[in-house]
Structure formats: structure tokens, C-alpha cells
Structure 1
Amino acid sequence: MNDPGSHLALPAIDYAYLEETLLQLLAIPSPVGLTDAAVRYTAGRLEALGIPYEITRRGAIRATLRGQASQPARAVVAHLDTLGAMVRALKPNGRLEIVPIGHWSARFAEGGRLTVFTDHGQVRGTCLPLKTSGHAFGDEVDAQPVGWEQVEVRVDLPATCRGDLLAAGLEVGDWIAFDPQPEIQPGGYINARYLDDKAAVAALLTACKAVRDHRLVLPVDVHPLLTITEEIGSGASAALHGEIAEMVSLDISIAAEGQNTSEHAATICMQDMSGPFDYHLTHKLIALAHAHGIPHRRDIFRYYRSDSAAAVEAGNDIRTALIGFGGDASHAQERTHRDALEALTRLVVAYMTSEPVARRDCRSMGSLDGFTEQLCPGDMAVPSTPLPAPETFLGDPAPEGEAQKR
């Protein structure tokens, strides 16, 4: 790849800053719809780095790192919102029926400590199966199904009926945030709920810090973008500049049986359930990872979508790609490793400082001149056995007893 950014040495990553940012983000509840505090924190982080930004009506953040040219601009996006739950009903037994915010299994809500955000304050509680005590229910504890209708929230209040809950200020529609329970091991493993996607946000901010600290030259404008509704599908459908031609989403990558992702590397996703990502942008990221010796894997995710899909479905004609940190047990008790976060951050810096895929992309429409090329005629495979001449197919009778080929 003839790209000035592909052979320049990358600066050191401030991992202490990344870890501090991650822990502070995890301490701020931000289920979809309750993201203002996380937005304010992230805006403060950008201000401390001297990076200008704008905030949309609902809270998506669009920052700007100026490059040598304003177009074709690129966006690097991560999401501040997380999974969560909401009160569906106040039950006669003084407990709460709940529904999920985002797509996750009640299996991983069971036993979780949580906070209910009422109109006037906060109430602590625990999510429990309907039949919890083996001393009371015996083997029925193990036989009950898994599902959101099979759990309830026990609030830490003297509540034994619906009236007690109402008197305490609890209502249908109250937001619920589960405790993240972060734990960082000396060996580099990081356990917590909501590493998706607060670990990627921390990596993006750390990459921005590297650009500022080392006064890195950016060939084109880069717009760090923090979205607030990715977990419910809309994500980066708004807040994109019209001049943005490339967008790279940062998210958790799935380390599981049957996948190629590792907790010790960055992942470059080739396709998710929304389809393949842009050929040229994806292969550019692969080339950058090779050039800089960044540990990485290529993978395909069957049950996954990201901010990139939302951006394209909203009608944006942009190149999209997805890269992530390898993580185990996504949307459950998640775990990653320092290696993956450092690899992702370095790949983001390499991308920010590299040339765009095509300078032609500064215009939304144009001629064939400067258009990209995937398969050159010289690269096409030549069959080892020449095909029969056309007249063989059309005029020669088939041997007796054999169907004629068409």
C-alpha cells in the first residue's frame, strides 16, 4: 500500500489514561435513554485534550481533529450507551417486573445488583429469579425457565405490596442500570459489564490523546463520534457530517468457539449480519496492522450489527468498516485484556494518520477517473483447461444416452 501513514512509527500509547478513562466511564450508568451523564463526562475529556466538539439535541458527540485537508473527511465512532432495563410493572408482592433495554439474556441479569432511577431519586436492588431459595422451593429452583418474565427486582425497601412501591416513588418506566462490577487483574485481564462499548470509547479517547500529545499530522479531518443509541439499533444514523466519506466503528469483537477473534488482539471484521464492510477500507486497515506490527485477527460475526449499519441504512453514502477489541462473553459478564485495548488504540492512531482510501471521495459523485479497483484484469485466474468453443455448446449433438449440455 502506497500510504505515508503505513510506514511511520506509531507513538507510545498512554495506557494509564486509557484505564483511568475506562474505570470512570464504567462508574457512570448509561443505559440507552439515560446517557446525559456519560455525554457530559466525555465532553469534559475532550475539552481537557483541547479537542472541539458539538453535541446533538439528544447527546451524540461530534468532535473534530483538523487535518491537512478538510475532505474527504473520516469518522471514528464508538458508543456511550449500554444495555439496561426498565420497570414494566409494580407487582402485588412488592417487587418489580422488568423488561430489557437492548438485546440481552435474562440469564445474565440474575443475581445482578442494580440501581432503579426514579423521578425523584435512586433505589438499590437485586434482580432475582421468581423462585430463588432452595430452602423454600427445592428442585424447582433449577427447573424454572430463563426469561425476563422469570425474574423480578427486589428493592432494598420495606415493600411488601404495590402500594409500598408507589409510596417510595417507584413507577412504571423507571430506568434500571446494573452494576458494572469492574475488576482489573495484574496480568492484564479486565472483567466488567459494559466493556461494550466503554472500553472502545476509552481507546478512542486515548488515540485522540496520542494525536494531541505527539502533534501528529493528519492527512484529512478526523471526526471522533460518540453515539448514544447503538444498543437499540439507531446509533450513528445521525450526527455525521455531509463531507464524511469513511467511517470506522469501534466495538467489542466476539471471542467465542467458532470465531477467529482473540482477547489479545484487535479484530478487523469482514462482515456482520448487515453484510460485508467496504472492501478498500477494510483491506486498508489490514495493511496498516501488518505494517505496524499490530496484533490482529480477521473475523465474521453472524449475530451482530454496529454503528456502521445504522449509518448506511440512514442513507449515508460512506465507506464503512468495523474494528474492535477481542472480548469474551459479550452482553454478559464481559472480559478483555490490555493487549486487545492497546492493539485497537494503535490501529486507530495508524488509521487517523494514514491517507484516505481515495481522494476522489471528497465528492459524492464523480466520473470513473480516480475510482477504486478491486480486481485487476491481470489478477483474474485463468482456467487450467480451456473452455470449449461457443459453437460446441450450441451445435454439437450430445453423445447418445447423455443429456445435451446447455
Structure 2
Amino acid sequence: MRFDNEYILNFMEKLLNTPSPTGDTVKAIDLVKKEFDNMGIDTYKTIKGALVATIKGKDNDYQKTLSGHVDTLGGMVKEIKSNGRIKFTKIGGYAFNSVEGEYITINTINNKQYTGTILIKTASTHVYGEKTGSTERNEENMEIRLDEIVKNEEDVKKLGINVGDFIYFDPRVKITDSGFVKSRHLDDKAGIAAILGTCKYLINNKISIPHTVNFFISNYEEVGHGAAGSVPENTKEFVAVDMAALGDGQASDEYNVTICAKDSSGPYDFGLRNRLIKLAQDNNIDYKVDIYPHYGSDASAAVRAGGRFKHGLIGPGVDASHSFERTHVISLENTTKLCIAYILEKIENQ
């Protein structure tokens, strides 16, 4: 099973460098749509702004849907302080210490952009001494220092910055010679890249697939309702392609594709999970099975919203999830291989 690794990495880098915090995802959705368009794959947008692409199969009644999400962590201007610093509120779930010192861009409602840095209020050790380390990292104590000459609230507002403006984190994308991909927002832009690599393989090789397959590119996953609606009507199976979390007590790593058995929403479909495992085994795909106690996916959101289909979750292993993330090209390869094998699988007893 040969596919275009270079395409996957190049597209992923482009997508990672396209800001898309939840609520501000139009550019990322349009970038993905352009890729589907270039492959000749039909797409449409949902009312919520998600993107659905479809490749027709021999069986149009028993459809498979794979999902990935372009929305990421980010922030929003909450308050402009009297000294010209900015307080912000989180978009998505992350610890404030994981963004301390990060370079950011504020995008105004008029699409003007201003850079800055996230800092603790007591950042200077020479001024605050031990308080620099002991100050709690929370919404009250974190602030943004703008790279503009601003001395008060009025100076900031003159720039066009207002409460509600989106804040983008610098992804700092780096692909190493050893095959590691270091970046913020690999959750889930690595999964999106695997999906597009899958599509490119199917289209370039002119492969006829047994069942119609949809690709649901969601834009509200990080806040819990990405695929909670608008899933294609004939979907009988829904598999989220999202990152696998690494850490103590976890089986996942940066080199395998992970098949999730259970997360905070409960168990995934047992029969579908076993089929995914067998597909990995039969196709010599390196895989792990894991459980995530602090995790939810578009598949679980879709089922919770009333979806009547089998649901599953697979994805590349991502270290330091929702922080300074890292994966490896081998994990992306194994994820793409399993996506392809799953799409090519014919369901005999429906």
C-alpha cells in the first residue's frame, strides 16, 4: 500500500500554519475544500460551516463516514486593561501554563492582525522574585503583552482591538530529519492530513470502493458539538480520525495508529473496534488499543446527538496533547493505511 507521504506532510504543514480556533475556522475549511476540489471529490458545507466530502461506492445505502476536525485551541479577548495589557478567555481545554510565553496573533473584526506574547503578570524575576514562579497560572493572572506602543485601554481600542476578537497561538511547525512533526494543533490537523492522504490514494489509483464514504470535516469539536448534527443520512458507521493521547498508563505511542476502546463518553462499538483490529492485523499495520479517561470525539458527539450508527475512533499518537504536541510520520502512515483498509472493507452482513 503505497501513498504520497510528501503530500501528507506538505498539506499538514500548510493546514497547521492556517489559524483556526473554534469559531474562526472558515479559512481552514476552505483550504481543505480546495484539496477535495482538486481531487474531483464533491463537497458541501453544512449550516454550521462544517464540510462534507463524498466518494460514491457500489453500495450507496450502507455508507461509512470518517471525520476529522479543523478547529483548534485558541483564545478570545476578554478584557482590555487600563495599562494596555489584555486578559483573555480560553477556547478549548488546556492548562494556562501550556501557553505561557507563547507568541500570539490577535485578529480583529476588521481582519487587522496584531502580534503579542502571553505572560504571567509577575513575569519579571528581577521585580517579583519568587512570586514569578509561585503565582498561579489562571485566567486572572495571565495577560497578553501587545507588540504595539499602547499605554492604556484607549490606545488598544484605537488599534481596532475589542472584546471578542480571536487569538491565534503560533503553531511553530517543525518537521525534523528524523521524521518527527512538532507543532501545536496536531489535534486534529494530523488526522485531517491522513484523511486527505487517504483520498489522494483512492483517487490517484482509481480505486472502486464497496460502500459510499463521506468525510465529515467538523469545526466545533474542541467545544463538544462538532459532529452533533448534519451527519450524512445513510451513515451506518461513523469513525472519527483524531489524535491518540500519550502518557503514563497509556498504551499509545508516536509510531502506531491507535484504535480507541473507550473514552469519557463510554465504550465505542465493540464489533467495529474488532473489525478495525483485524484490518490492521491483516494488512500488517502497526496498531495499539487504548482507553482515554479525559477525551471525547466527534464520533461520541454524533452518537450522543442521536446518531443511529456504529461509532469508532482511530488516530495517530500525539505526545503532550493540548500542549507542545509531537507525532511521527510513521504514525501518520499507519493511520492512513488503516483508513484506506477500512474504506476498502466490504460489509457482508449488514
Is this a same-fold pair by TM over 0.5? yes
Aligned amino acid, residue 71 of structure 1: D
Aligned amino acid, residue 138 of structure 2: G
| TM-aligned CA deviation for residue 357 of structure 1 | 6.9
1:5 maps to which residue?
none
1:180 maps to which residue?
171
1:50 maps to which residue?
40
Aligned amino acid, residue 83 of structure 2: N
Contact preservation (8 Å) 1:61, 1:239 = no
State the distance in 2 between where 1:241 and 1:261 align.
31
1:314 maps to which residue?
305
State the distance in 2 between where 1:356 and 1:322 align.
18
State the distance in 2 between where 1:357 and 1:99 align.
50
| TM-aligned CA deviation for residue 76 of structure 1 | 0.5
State the distance in 2 between where 1:241 and 1:225 align.
9
| TM-aligned CA deviation for residue 317 of structure 1 | 0.6
State the distance in 2 between where 1:231 and 1:24 align.
20
Cα 1:104–1:357, aligned 2, differ >3 Å: closer, same or farther? Answer: farther
State the distance in 1 between where 2:328 and 2:74 align.
24
Q: 1:78 aligns with which of 53, 64, 68?
A: 68
State the distance in 1 between where 2:307 and 2:347 align.
18
Runs of 4+ in structure 1 deviating by more than 4 angstroms, as ranges, are: none
After superposition, residues 298-309 of structure 1 pair within 5 angstroms as: 298-309=289-300
State the distance in 1 between where 2:342 and 2:69 align.
19
Contact preservation (8 Å) 1:75, 1:223 = yes
Q: 1:334 aligns with which of 321, 325, 331?
A: 325
| TM-aligned CA deviation for residue 160 of structure 1 | 1.3
State the distance in 2 between where 1:302 and 1:283 align.
20
Q: Deviations over 1:276-297 (max 9, x none)?
A: 0001111100000000010100
Number of equivalenced pairs: 349
Aligned amino acid, residue 205 of structure 1: L
1:129 aligns with 2:120: yes
Aligned amino acid, residue 247 of structure 2: A
SS of equivalent residue, structure 1 residue 283: helix
Q: Deviations over 1:255-274 (max 9, x none)?
A: 11110001010000000010
TM-score by length of 2: 0.98
Segment drifting more, 341-350 vs 163-172: 163-172
State the distance in 2 between where 1:42 and 1:124 align.
26
Q: Deviations over 1:374-396 (max 9, x none)?
A: xxxxxxxxxxxxxxxxxxxxxxx
Q: Deviations over 1:181-214 (max 9, x none)?
A: 0111111111000000001000000001101011
SS of equivalent residue, structure 1 residue 339: helix
SS of equivalent residue, structure 1 residue 286: helix
Q: Deviations over 1:111-139 (max 9, x none)?
A: 00011011221111110011111111111
Q: 1:252 aligns with which of 243, 246, 251?
A: 243
Cα 1:188–1:236, aligned 2, differ >3 Å: closer, same or farther? Answer: same
State the distance in 2 between where 1:59 and 1:353 align.
29
State the distance in 2 between where 1:34 and 1:126 align.
20
| TM-aligned CA deviation for residue 231 of structure 1 | 0.1
SS of equivalent residue, structure 1 residue 74: strand
2:197 maps to which residue?
206
1:354 aligns with 2:326: no
Contact preservation (8 Å) 1:247, 1:319 = yes
Contact preservation (8 Å) 1:281, 1:357 = no
Aligned amino acid, residue 272 of structure 1: D
1:166 maps to which residue?
157
1:296 aligns with 2:287: yes
Q: 2:277 aligns with which of 282, 286, 298?
A: 286
| TM-aligned CA deviation for residue 217 of structure 1 | 2.1
State the distance in 2 between where 1:163 and 1:341 align.
48
- Give 5+ residue unaligned stretches, structure 1: 1-10, 360-406
- Give 5+ residue unaligned stretches, structure 2: none
Q: Deviations over 1:139-167 (max 9, x none)?
A: 11111112122210011111111111111
State the distance in 1 between where 2:180 and 2:349 align.
38
Contact preservation (8 Å) 1:32, 1:228 = yes
2:261 maps to which residue?
270
Contact preservation (8 Å) 1:247, 1:320 = yes
State the distance in 2 between where 1:245 and 1:267 align.
22
| TM-aligned CA deviation for residue 63 of structure 1 | 0.7
TM-score by length of 1: 0.85
SS of equivalent residue, structure 1 residue 30: coil
Q: 2:136 aligns with which of 145, 168, 176?
A: 145
| TM-aligned CA deviation for residue 94 of structure 1 | 0.4
After superposition, residues 361-400 of structure 1 pair within 5 angstroms as: none
| Larger gyration radius, structure 1 or structure 2 | 1
1:111 aligns with 2:101: yes
1:19 maps to which residue?
9
Identity of aligned residues (%): 35
Contact preservation (8 Å) 1:284, 1:357 = no
1:39 maps to which residue?
29
1:98 maps to which residue?
88
Contact preservation (8 Å) 1:269, 1:300 = yes
Contact preservation (8 Å) 1:190, 1:337 = yes
Q: Deviations over 1:209-236 (max 9, x none)?
A: 1010111221110001100000000011
Aligned amino acid, residue 109 of structure 1: V
1:396 maps to which residue?
none
